[in-house]
Structure 1
Amino acid sequence: MKKNAIKEKIKRGEQVLGVFLGINAPPLVEMLGYAGFDFVVIDDEHGAFSTSELENMIRTADSVGLVPIVRVSYDPSSIQKALDRGASGVQVPMINTKEEALDVVNRAKFPPYGNRGVSYSTRPAHYGKNSGKPYLDESNENVMIIVHIETPEAANNFEAIATVPGIDLAFIGSTDLSVNMGHQLEGAGHPEVQKVINDLFNKGEKLGMPIGTVAGNSDSTNSAFDKGAKYVGVILNNVLTSALSDVVSSRNAAQSFQ
């Protein structure tokens, strides 16, 4: 099993840039790889993927040098299925307590670090070519485990969550955080939400826990990196919608001068 490129970069203190993708579109995955992104988050929380579609998206990411991360659903088997399809890591939404973080590690790691079920006939084990302790150890070392911090409860329990062995990165879900704090109108820009986010960045730095977050465009991406984020995922739907709207606006503007 090859090294997880983004996990290694973050360990070296580097920043990585990826895209959230919630539609079954392997050609888009190829475009992202050719564009130079570091990773793709295949969104099985809000997106719509069958298990075979998930595997094809992961396979496509591998083919263009993108690290495939799956944001899993709430199905208890979703972590196992994502990793058995060949995902290099999982993002797990709505982790609010240390106990929930421990459960994530248990599901994502093979013994002795967890209780993930073992099969050597899966894609990451090269369909039986790789097996035994070397494969299990390599998987435990390379799989990236990311937990979402997106509620006031999770923010209050951040230190306990972040110090669970096996957690590689804490991801601030700013949209859910703002909604769960009751600031649906102003969203993540509300001062109270920004205070919580800034506190999480400060706590992460003190604990040596890398922080990730979401972005909607290049400006918010750069802002997140400037704040100290090591892992930023751009929402592709936002980028595409904005670009398409710009094309229509330019056309309408041109017609108005005719």
Structure 2
Amino acid sequence: MMGSLKSRLLGGYKAVGVLIGDYSPSMVEVYGHLEFDFVFIDDEHGAFSYSELEHMVRAADAVQIAPIVRVSYDESGIQKVLDRGAKGIHIPMVNTKEEAEKVVQQAKFPPHGKRGAAYYIRAAQYGKVRGTNYLQSANEETLVIVHIETPQAVANFDAIMSVPGIDMAFIGSTDLAVSMGYTDGPDHPEVQKVIEQLFEKGRKLGVLMGAVAASKEQVRREFERGANYVAVVGTSVISKAFREVLDVAKES
């Protein structure tokens, strides 16, 4: 993989990856061999220990697929996953400029933030990489993604995305729908209207935009309306494929 995922995105590349919420380094390897751009490891809804997250990141490195972790609500979550070698982070439920600023403070080393530094960790190759080169590289190449998934976040979109160090707005469409009162899902016209408005704002501000998809049709739709980065829900695609196989078997 040429260059960091962040640098490629900033250069105009459109990335597609797979969202995975279960501990399976083998599936990370599968997605890497299929040549997806990233694996979105979900520690918000998934069930991982930090050691398991490290194994998932290690598997991603082995097959040259960028490991991006959606962190939990643990205050130390950002530090923990970046120290283990994640190339980027998703931060759920960022609703204000102040919350976005806090994210940057936790994700960046001084002078841009307050992330604690250590060189014996996996991200620094256990001491092989250290000092200014490591700190600057981590600050520059780590992809920092905030989730826009409530009406409050929508109202504060411009302010959130004005924070230096925030690289992408990711539309959390399911949470957005639920928080708007549409519990049947994000396909409701009113939810889609808000999402379209967010993409329009993103274009005007010139910021990277991310979205989730559950099918090839949805992947195409998100790229067409301006997404730079689309995460495909792995379980949805796998379930659909197996359902089709079962349907054929039952018809035989």
Q: What's the TM-score bracket when you normalise by the shorter of the two chains?
A: over 0.9
Taking a change above 3 Å as real, the CA distance of residues 4 and 170 of structure 1, as seen in their structure-2 partners, is farther
Q: Does 1:176 align with 2:204?
A: no
Q: Quick one: which amino acid aligns to residue 162 of structure 1?
A: M
How far residue 5 of structure 1 moved from its aligned partner, in angstroms, is 2.5
Name the counterpart of 1:232.
230
Residue 124 of structure 1: how far off its partner (Å): 1.1
Tell me the CA shift for residue 8 of structure 1. Answer: 1.4
Deviations 1:122-158 (A, max 9, x none): 0111111111111111110111100000000000000
Contact 1:152 1:177 in 2 (8 A): yes
Q: Deviations over 1:192-235 (max 9, x none)?
A: 11111011001001111111000001110011111110000000
SS in 2 for 1:95: coil
Q: Which residue does 2:142 correspond to in 1?
A: 143
* Counterpart check, 1:133 vs 2:159: no
Q: Which amino acid aligns with 2:52?
A: E
Q: Distance in 2 between matches of 1:222 and 1:6?
A: 20
**Which residue in the other structure is 2:244 paired with?**
246
Secondary structure of residue in 1 paired with 2:85? coil
CA distance in 2, matches of 1:112, 1:196: 36
Matched, 1:117 2:116: yes
Q: Note the aligned Cα RMSD (angstroms).
A: 1.1
Q: Which amino acid aligns with 2:195?
A: I
Counterpart of 1:23?
A: 22
Aligned residue for 1:92?
A: 91
Structure 1 residues 80 and 37: CA distance shift in structure 2, 3 A: same
Query: With structure 1 as the length reference, what TM-score do the two structures score?
Result: 0.96
Contact 1:4 1:143 in 2 (8 A): no
Q: 2: distance between equivalents of 1:239 and 1:178?
A: 21
* Equivalence for 2:215: 217
Separation in 2 of the partners of 1:195 and 1:11? 26
CA-to-partner distance for each residue in 1:83-122, whole Å, 9 max, x for gaps? Answer: 0000001000000000000000000000000000111110
Match of 1:59?
58
1:156: which partner in 2?
A: 155
Q: Please, which of 182, 193, 196 is the counterpart of residue 194 of structure 2? A: 196
SS of 1:188's equivalent? coil
- Scaled by the length of structure 2, the TM-score of the pair is 0.98
Q: Which residues of structure 1 form unaligned runs of 5+?
A: none
Number of residue equivalences: 252
Residue pair 1:16, 1:231 contacting (<8 A) in 2 also: yes
- Structure 1 residue 3 displacement after superposition: 7.7
User: The residue matched to 1:219 in structure 2 has which SS?
Assistant: helix
For 2:249, give the aligned amino acid: R
Larger deviation, residues 129-138 vs 143-152: 129-138
Give a deviation string over 1:56-95, Cα, whole Å, max 9, x none: 1001101101000000000010000000000001000000
